[in-house]
Chain A
Amino acid sequence: MTSNEPTVDYAGIPLPEVMIMTNRLLKAETTEKVLDALATVGHIRQINMTGESLPKTINSGPNKGLDNNHSERKAIEFNGKEVELRHLVGAFYLELDVEDEDTLDATVAGIKEACDRTIPFGYDLQVGRYSKYRTSLHDYRGA
């Protein structure tokens, strides 16, 4: 069973999250641009990305085990660190470090502005809570 534990420590309160679904799957280069743009927006506690999986090797059929060499499965640079992309990114989940509605609105506006600038073909943005924010009993269960 894969672990479903939260990716960062519990903030003490359930923080709001922004979900960005892009209309097209993004190239690694565009993903990097989006992340760089989001980095300039304050009050973001963590960013998780997902999309369509790009296997490292051919995972079935007669050529199983052969290198896949997908041009978009590569390392991108973010915040001075290398991030290994394993997906063709199509969604961003941003946990916001905000405590009142005014800050929330201002942060969401900043995120929208960053996305408008960098995401081609449009996107869908929603505010809510889409992932787990603290460990639960389930995470202590054995396999």
Chain B
Amino acid sequence: MAYKRQFYPGATTPAVNRRRYMDPKVNLKKLRDVSMDDVVRIMGHRNPGEDYKTIHAPLDENPYETLCPIRALVKPIEGAKSGDRIRYIQFTDSVYFAPISPYQRAWMYLSRYRGIDTGTLSGRQIIEVRERDLEVLAKEMIDNETFDPALTGIRGATVHGHACRLDENGLMFDGWQRYVWDDSKKEVVYVKDQVALPLDRKISVGKPASMSDLQKRTTIFRADGVDMRDDKEVSMYGLRIHKLRTLGGYQPFKVKGV
């Protein structure tokens, strides 16, 4: 019997959203259109229009390519083919019902993309990819429903803020103020790149979603939203892993029928 891939248990909204974000067959909704040049400006790795810097010769110019069995097996991504540098983008997700949280970002990235390296921390998620592939990925992640202008931050360093109270405009705290609230347009605009270098011009990332909308979109279980304990299947799944890991660590003979 062919194995049918499963993603996440549960029937509550956060559980369903986790499944949706992870499933590569689901096309995520596009909510905004930040131009590619602006995405490149916010990341700050190169100037728009500038050539990609390389760290090795293009693969098709490499005489040893055909001798490598791994290269025969794995189809390279575009950036690897051209020898691009590996660059990064890092997102910070607020605990106040951000559309996604760092751990699910890792699940989503690994489930949807090839040729990436991602790292999870409590409030942020870094993703490292060959530069030209990173730009495509970054644009998708800024444009789609996993990004909210107020509660998701693009922060390369000093990411502090994900667990802080929001400010008066409802924006996640950022000590470096990379983005500000434009009161006339009711939009969030980036004024600094992800490592706080001031941008030549402001880049709008659109209007923040309402709290009721975010509660429908989030993957975060919270006592004041959907409590994880209210989802029986999710609780049992967590308990099962906990039990298997604990018993497996010191009394593996007790792992029976778990």
Question: A residues engaging B (CB < 8 A)?
Answer: 22-27, 30, 52-55, 58-63, 66, 68-72, 88, 90, 120-121
Contact = CB atoms under 8 A, between A and B. Distances in A.
A88 B176 CA distance: 12
B180 interface: yes
Given A68-B177, A71-B180, A88 B167 contact: yes
Nearest to A120: B168
A26 B168 contact: yes
B16 interface: no
Interface string B193-217: 0011110000000000000000000
B245 interface: no
29 contacts: A22-B165, A23-B165, A24-B166, A24-B168, A24-B170, A25-B164, A25-B167, A25-B173, A30-B168, A52-B160, A53-B175, A54-B175, A55-B175, A58-B176, A58-B196, A60-B157, A61-B195, A63-B195, A63-B196, A63-B197, A66-B196, A66-B197, A68-B176, A69-B177, A69-B198, A71-B177, A72-B177, A120-B168, A121-B168
Given A25-B166, A52-B161, A68-B196, 15 more contacts: A24-B167, A24-B168, A25-B164, A25-B165, A25-B168, A26-B167, A52-B175, A55-B176, A59-B158, A61-B156, A62-B157, A66-B196, A68-B175, A70-B175, A121-B168
Interface of B: 156-158, 160-161, 164-168, 170, 173, 175-177, 180, 195-198
A52 B54 CA distance: 40
Contacts of A60: 157-158
* Secondary structure dominating the interface of B: loop
A88 B180 CA distance: 14
A121 to B, nearest CB: 7
* Secondary structure dominating the interface of A: loop
Nearest to A61: B157
A62 B197 CA distance: 9
A52 B158 contact: no
A62 B175 contact: no
